[in-house]
Structure 1
Amino acid sequence: MTDIPDLAIATRKVCFILSKARQFDEKENVTDPDSGSNASDDGMVDILEDDRSDPVQHELTSFIHDLNVDEQIDLVALAWLGRGDAGIADWSTLQADARHAHNARTAAYLMGLPLLSDYLEEGLSLFGETCEDFEAE
C-alpha cells in the first residue's frame, strides 16, 4: 500500500464545499417565471430554482475564491481523483496537472462539474477521510 499524501486543504473546508455543492446541484431551472413576492403564495416553488441571485452559488464561489492557490489546486485535483482520472498513487501528477491548469476561474470550473459533491466525497474517501463529523455539527 502506498503512503497517503498530505492535502493542502483541510478536510472541513472540503466538506463545507461538498455540502454547498450538493445544495447547488439540487437547484433546477426557473419553473415559475411569474413569481410573486410571497414565497408561500407560490407554494415555495422558487426555493429550488437556480437563478443569478442564488445565495448558495455566491457563497460557494466566494469560499472557493478565498482559498489560497495550493488549496484550490488540491481541491481540483481531489475532484479529478474522485472522478477517477487517476488513483491515489498518482496524486502528485494530479496536483501538477491542476497547478498547470490553475487560473482565476477555479470556482466556475468546479461548479460546472455536475457531480462535484460526489467527486469530492469519493476523493476524500481515497484519503481515508469523511465528512461525517462535519455533517454532525
Structure 2
Amino acid sequence: MDPLTPLDTLCRIIFRAREYEAQTPTDYDGGEAAENIDDDDEGALSVLDDSVNDSVEEELQAAFEDLGEDQLAEVVAFSWVGQGTYEASDWDEAMEEAQALVGSGTAGAIRELLDMPMLASVLEAGLAAFELNCDGVGDLS
C-alpha cells in the first residue's frame, strides 16, 4: 500500500505524538478509591503542568492542520486500524468513515486524534498492518 500522506510526514506525526504523550498531564489518585477522597482534597495529583504541554500540542495540531482532508482522513483511518476498530482488510470502510468524520469538520477529526490514548502507538500499529514503519525515517546518517 502506498499511503496518500508521505511516510516521512506520518513518521513526524508519530514522533510528535510520542512527545505529546510524554508530556500529557495525567491525574493519579495514589491508588485510593473515589469513595475515600475528601471533598476538600480531590486526591488527584497532576503529574505535569498543562502549560508544559501547550507547544507540543500546538505543533501536533499544526501538523494535522497542514494535511489535506484526504490525508487527515488517512491518519484517522490508520489510527483506527492500529487500535483494532478496523482490520487492515477493511481499509476502504475505515477510510470512508474517516472521510465522513473529516467532512463534517476537520476540527472534530483533529480533536479525536489529539484525545486518542497512545496515539503514537496506534498509528505505528496502523502502519505496521500495511507493512509500513518509521525505521530509518528521520535518521541523520
Q: TM-score, normalised by structure 2?
A: 0.75
- Cα distance in 1 for residues equivalent to 2:53 and 2:80: 29
- CA drift of 1:104 comes to 2.2
| Structure 2 partner of 1:136 | 139
Change (3 A) 1:49 1:26: farther
Residue 111 of structure 2, aligned match among 100, 108, 113: 108
User: Which residue type is aligned with residue 89 of structure 2?
Assistant: A
- CA drift of 1:92 comes to 0.3
The question of 1:123 aligning with 2:126 is answered yes
Q: Which sections of structure 2, spanning at least 5 residues, go unmatched?
A: 27-47
| Structure 1 partner of 2:5 | 9
Q: Which sections of structure 1, spanning at least 5 residues, go unmatched?
A: 31-47
> Percent identity at matched positions?
27
Runs ≥4 residues deviating over 4 A: none
The question of 1:84 aligning with 2:84 is answered yes
Q: Per the alignment, in what secondary structure is the counterpart of residue 86 of structure 2? A: coil
- The structure showing larger relative contact order (alpha-carbon pairs under 8 Å, at least 6 residues apart) is 1
- Cα distance in 1 for residues equivalent to 2:125 and 2:24: 24
| Structure 1 partner of 2:75 | 75
Contact kept in structure 2, 1:29 and 1:51, CA below 8 Å: no
Q: TM-score, normalised by structure 1?
A: 0.77
- CA drift of 1:91 comes to 0.3
- CA drift of 1:93 comes to 0.3
Q: Per the alignment, in what secondary structure is the counterpart of residue 54 of structure 1? A: helix
Q: Per the alignment, in what secondary structure is the counterpart of residue 93 of structure 2? A: helix
Deviations 1:72-109 (A, max 9, x none): 00000000000011211110000001011112212222
User: Which residue type is aligned with residue 92 of structure 1?
Assistant: D
- CA drift of 1:28 comes to 4.2
- CA drift of 1:116 comes to 0.6
The question of 1:25 aligning with 2:37 is answered no
